[in-house]
Amino acid sequence: MYIPSGSGDWGPSEIEQHLDWLVNSSGESPIGVPRYWVHIRDVVDMVTLLLDNPPTGRIDVCGRRCWSDEAMSAELEMLFSRVKAAEMKTFQLENLKIFEPKIEPTVAQKRPDLSPLHSALQAVGAVGWHPLVPLRVGLMECIAYQLE
């Protein structure tokens, strides 16, 4: 799980570390692991739905796809460069090119079993588990918080 304002103790800090590196441009790029990133907003929405009828036992939560650290970093760098180009009024055609990172990790992480979560959500009348916030949107929010 990631939180645009900073994950603190709630999740991994790879996004914040990479943003710090982009802003300060010192040393080598931070290295992370493949993750099924999920936005805090999707998790909060899920918890809200389950408050009246909480499931028992362990419930795993994760995003739709596993993002390699390289793909997440490339996406973050592309978005950051667009923001900086807009901020400095140096936007070029290069900044507008469609960017599709390779999201399949070279070392696949085992996806958590989401069937208990999916079933719990269906039991309260929801369609099931399907996070709505795209990683690109969440990364833009992370950049906005970093640059505040």
* Per-residue model confidence as pLDDT tens digits over 100-147: 766 565 566 788 999 999 999 999 999 999 999 999 999 999 999 988
Cβ-Cβ contacts under 8 Å for 145 (sequence gap 6 or more)? 4, 5, 6
Q: Specify which residues 35 forms β-bridges with.
A: 67
This prediction's pTM: 0.86
Which pLDDT score, from 0 to 100, does residue 138 have? 96
* Per-residue model confidence as pLDDT tens digits over 22-73: 998 777 888 899 999 999 999 999 999 999 999 999 999 999 988 989 999 9
Q: Any idea what the Cα angle at residue 93 is, between residues 89 and 99, rounded to 5°?
A: 110
Q: Please give the Cα distance from 25 to 74 (Å, whole number).
A: 15
